[in-house]
Amino acid sequence: MEWMVWTLPTAIFFSVIAAILLGMTTWELVSPSVERRGFLPIATTRGDRLFIGLLSAAYIHLAVVGFTDISIWFALGASVLWLLVLMRWG
């Protein structure tokens, strides 16, 4: 595994993603999700909202890193907040 050149931040990143996926699966097994309409223009399930949230979080990070001087931690905070809003009301 030496050639994969792991670093601590990326290891944490992938562990968090794996943990989220695992958590979502367990949640789905315990109480299956129902498709519903929130403020998004399409009907979504829990998993759809998670995907939309993660994808938009990636774009938020890119925008902050590429075109502003704001700290990346700010982007992370905003993304987590956005993800929570999306999961609850999306």
Partner 1 sequence: MTSSVPTTPESVRKQAAEAAALRRKRARNVTTRWRRRTLLGLYLVFVMLPIYWLLNLSFQTNSEILGSFSFWPQNFTVANYARIFTDANWYMGYVNSLAYVLMNMLISISVALPAAYAFSRFRFIGDKHLFFWLLTNLMAPPAVFLLPYFQLYYSVGLFDTHIAVALAHCLFNIPLAIWILEGFMSSVPKEVDETAYIDGYSFPRFFVTIFLPMIRSGIGVTLFFLFMFSWVELLLSRTLTATNAQPIASIMTRTSTASGIDWGTLAAAGVLTIIPGIVVVYFVRNHIAKGFALGRT
Partner 2 sequence: MNKVYNNRAWFLILPMLMLVAFSAIIPLMTVVNYSVQDVFDANTRFFTGTEWFEVMLNDPALQAALLRQFAFSFTILAIEVPLGIGIALLMPKRGWQASAVLILITLPLLIPWNVVGSIWQLFTRGDIGLMGVGIRELGYAYNITRNPADAWATIILMDVWHWTPLIALLCYSGLRSIPDAYYQAARIDRASKWAVFRYIQLPKLTNVLVIGVLLRFMHSFMIYAEPFVLTGGGPGSSTTFLSQSLTTMAIGQQDLGPSAAFSLIYFLIILLVCWVFYTAIMNSQKDNTTQGGA
Minimum CB distance to partner 1, residue 30 (Å): 11
Taking residue 29's Cβ as centre, other Cβ atoms within 10 Å add up to 8
Under rule CB under 8 A, which residues in 12-71 are in contact with partner 1? 25, 28-29, 45, 47-48, 51
Minimum CB distance to partner 1, residue 65 (Å): 19
> SS3 string of 13-67?
HHHHHHHHHHHHHHHHHHCCCCCECCCCCCCECHHHHHHHHHHHHHHHHHHHHHH
Nearer to partner 1, 46 or 64 (CB): 46
Binding site for partner 2 (CB under 8 A): 2-7, 9-10, 13-14, 42, 51, 55, 58-59, 62, 65-67, 72
